[in-house]
Amino acid sequence: MDLLGLVGSITMLNVIKFLLVVLLSVYSLFAMLMMRQIVAMTKAVAMRDDFVIRLLGTINFVFALMVLILAIFIL
């Protein structure tokens, strides 16, 4: 009965929120991998001003985390 009630209380918006949070979590992991790969590559080949690309990788990761937190709190 409780289970049925629980299932009944799940709305379409709950499902969308759940899917968004899962997607954004996976993307955050991907962004972290990307950041680590950039660090590994700039170690393999060091270039002038290559901090710029490391900075872009970090911005991508921070952006992904921010959107994930936003999704958890405002939805």
Partner 1 sequence: MAEIFKAKVQEKVNRSIEAIRGMVGKVGRDNLLTSFASFPNKVFFETQNDAEQVILFLRQHPIVNLKWMLIAALMLVLPSVFIFFPPYALLPANYQFVVSMGWYMFVFGYTLAKFMGWFFNIYILTDERVVDVDFANIFFRKISTAKIDEIQDVNIQSSGALETFFGYGSVFIQTAAEVSQFEFLAVPNPDKVGKIINQLIDLEEQEKLEGRVK
Query: Which residues form the interface with partner 1 (CB under 8 A)?
Result: 13, 16-17, 20, 23-24, 27, 30-31, 33-34, 37-38, 40-41, 43-50, 52-53, 56-57, 60, 63-64, 67, 70-71, 74-75
Q: What single-letter amino acid sits at 22? A: V
Question: What residues contact 73, with CB distance under 8 A and at least 6 apart?
Answer: none
**Cβ–Cβ under 8 Å, residues 35 and 10:** no
**Shortest distance in whole angstroms from residue 4 CB to partner 1:** 27
Tokens 């992904």 belong to 64
**Shortest distance in whole angstroms from residue 2 CB to partner 1:** 28
